[in-house]
Structure 1
Amino acid sequence: MSSAQLRPVDLAREHGLSTQAVRNYEDAGILPPARRSPHGYRAYSAGHAQALRAFLALVPGFGHATATAILQAVNAGDVDRALELIDAGHAQLRQDRQTLTAVEHALRDLADPEPATRASFVGPLARRLGVRPATLRKWERAGLLEPRRDRTTGYRVYSAADIRDAQLAHQLRRGGYPLPRIALLLDQVRTAGGVEPLEATLADWRGRLTRRGCAMLAGAAQLHAYLMAGSAVDG
């Protein structure tokens, strides 16, 4: 690594940061400890500059907390831990993509039932979905389903819209989506009057996942440059 000395302002200026922010990053372990002059001034190196580039590049894809933990691990010499955090980030992105795909498929397949099967009781609907009746009742308590009650028997009666919502909830649960988030999405479906108005929302969702994936690649590239230069900074 270059032994050229850099001041906090030199690192800050490249990214439009304050010098205090650079000092804070060092205090947080995002940057390795700087060498101090006899008068106590911080003297950074090219390695510090690359560490800062890596951190700021990681934030958009992994978030501030995870990016901080990654740099802290690298600077502590625990590269395996840093790579585990990166792996976890990619695994979460993959899960999010699978969930989105499940949502898209569910919405695409949600055709209205035939007139003869527009309404369903809990047992037949549970068998149709391959779940237990208790699962449908749990979804109802969580606000996912809103079946009416038969006036004579008191049994739950699932309308065409209820069946649509149950199908969508089933797909989302298989994708690992939590019940509160499913409830919010189903509320959007009901408010919009169907699934068609959600196409723009899904397109935006996929765009955000794509941007996040690209940001992860950019962050990994900067981190790789830092690792290849040697995480032990000149001092």
Structure 2
Amino acid sequence: MDLARAHGLSTQAVRNYEAAGILPAAERGPQGYRSYTARHARALDAFLALVPGHGHAAAAAILQAVHRGATADALRLVDEGHARLLDDRRTLTSVEAALRDLDPVPPERGDVFVGPLAHRLGVRPATLRKWERAGLVRPRRDPRTGYRVFGAADVRDARLVAQLRRGGHLLERIAPVLDRVRSAGGVEPLAATLTDWHARLTARGRAMLRGAAALDAYLEG
């Protein structure tokens, strides 16, 4: 069987997959050539189907576990992938709920110290320090005085935390929201990405289903 051509891969790629344990070991003919069978094709089908949902490294680990006879380990890795997807869905739900509770955050200019910012937000300075310890705000330190200095992005984050806390959101659920705000470059850019975020999670979930079906077909033999 020309396994490489059938799957649109190079011969070297197939050999690498075999060497890595992603494919079962192939028997060799009298001339030393590898002989690939329908079993190898099903293994490669399973691996290639798992990659879009789980990623290359996890898909490889799943097939490697199967080929060393550790099917339970392989299924645990599949479960862990689904658990990560569920966690990502929960993060998205938290972000959407948080954004619904947010008022527009005006742009900030200049730097501000902890006391004036706490007064502006209606919280105690100790509360801002607690948020800092939780990683929710990240002020820099003035090199001369050691005082905390909040730049524009830090003030934005502090305003968001204050609003979300008033809305009843727990600190541990606020952290992923802020991570997304920072990576998106602000609240408005983040809100614009939610539809795409939903689509990517849906695509990943369906890819996992296809990968599971291909893996099950391989395990059935």
With normalisation by structure 1, the TM-score equals 0.71
The 1:41–1:174 alpha-carbon spacing in structure 2 relative to 1, beyond 3 Å, is same
The equivalent residue for 1:59 is 51
Contact 1:30 1:75 (8 Å CA) reproduced: yes
The equivalent residue for 2:176 is 177
Q: Give how far 1:109 is off.
A: 1.2
* Cα separation, 1, equivalents of 2:136 and 2:160: 17
Q: Which has the higher contact order (CA 8 A, sep 6+)?
A: 1
Contact 2:49 2:214 (8 Å CA) reproduced: yes
* Cα separation, 1, equivalents of 2:69 and 2:13: 23
Q: 1:37 aligns with which of 10, 13, 29?
A: 29
The 1:168–1:182 alpha-carbon spacing in structure 2 relative to 1, beyond 3 Å, is farther
Q: Deviations over 1:165-211 (max 9, x none)?
A: 444596673277397x35624x721xxxxx34433211111111111
1:49 aligns with 2:41: yes
* Cα separation, 1, equivalents of 2:214 and 2:163: 43
Listed as ranges, the gaps of 5+ residues in structure 1 are 1-5, 127-131, 147-153, 190-194, 230-235
The equivalent residue for 2:196 is 204
Aligned positions of 1:1-235 closer than 5 A: 6=1, 10-111=2-103, 119-123=120-124, 133-138=128-133, 142-143=137-138, 162-167=158-163, 173-174=172-173, 177=176, 181-182=179-180, 184-185=182-183, 188-189=185-186, 195-229=187-221
Listed as ranges, the gaps of 5+ residues in structure 2 are 106-118, 141-147
AA of the residue aligned to 2:27: R
Q: Deviations over 1:40-62 (max 9, x none)?
A: 11011111000000001101100
Contact 2:28 2:35 (8 Å CA) reproduced: yes
With normalisation by structure 2, the TM-score equals 0.75
* Cα separation, 1, equivalents of 2:181 and 2:103: 20
Q: Give how far 1:14 is off.
A: 2.0
The 1:30–1:188 alpha-carbon spacing in structure 2 relative to 1, beyond 3 Å, is same
* Cα separation, 2, equivalents of 1:24 and 1:159: 51
The number of aligned residues is 195
AA of the residue aligned to 1:204: D
